[in-house]
Amino acid sequence: MPKGYAHLRSVTRTAGAPVSNLENLRKQAKQYVRWHRDGYYPVAAQIRAMLPRFHHLADVQVLEQPFKLSDAQELVARQSGFENWPALKAGVQAMPDDITTPIPPIVLGTVEAQLFVADLAVACEFYESMLGFTVTFTHGEPAFYGQVERDGVRLNLRWVGEPVFAGDIREREHLLSATIGLDSGATLRRLFRGGNDPGDVHA
């Protein structure tokens, strides 16, 4: 499966077989190491949220830091409600074989739109100067991927060197890449008339 389409999996405890559960958690820790090594951006948010030493870093900085198997095991442990990997091992091994633990529902946190742009620098400048976004990061030299953010709205910008849509389909079908909600049409007009101060308009 291409890494761009990989899915971050939540940790769940299934009924019975503690040894099997622990082996699954070991595999998940190794998967986190691979994701980090491959530069898969969504894993950076989980690392930053769960491991205090990464709290102050942006996504690109998280991916630039060393991330060992022991770090991944601590991440898995904290996701499971334990302070560290040894505590998780002790907790899993102490579970009776016949216990049934309810599987918690999956709760989605955030979604980030992916926008294709012909000039990444121009796109970043537009979102900064016109719409009041902040550039979170850019990746590559010259940059080919980046992210802008405002009021909790995050847009991922990806440079493409050729048309994304075939022919004139975008003009004919009025295709949308992303939708950002505002409280009124008046707010939208203020935004495009120079209301680019993040304290002035709230999405």
| The 134-140 sheet, strands edge to edge | 113-117, 153-159, 143-150, 134-140
**Alpha carbon 86 to chain centroid, angstroms:** 28
Q: Which helix H or strand E contains 159, and what residues bound it?
A: strand 153-159
Q: What is the mean pLDDT of residues 146-175?
A: 80
Question: Rounded to whole angstroms, how far apart are CA atoms 26 and 69?
Answer: 9
Which domains occur in the chain, in start order?
Answer: 12-93 (no CATH), 113-192 (3.10.180.10)
Look at residue 157 in the predicted model and tell me its pLDDT. Answer: 93
Question: Rounded to whole angstroms, how far apart are CA atoms 146 and 144?
Answer: 7
Q: What is residue 93's three-state secondary structure?
A: helix
Short-list 121, 114, 106, 116, CA closest to 42: 114
Q: Is the pLDDT of residue 130 over 70?
A: yes
pLDDT digits (tens, 9 = 90+) for 21-68: 888 899 999 999 999 999 888 888 889 889 999 988 888 899 999 999
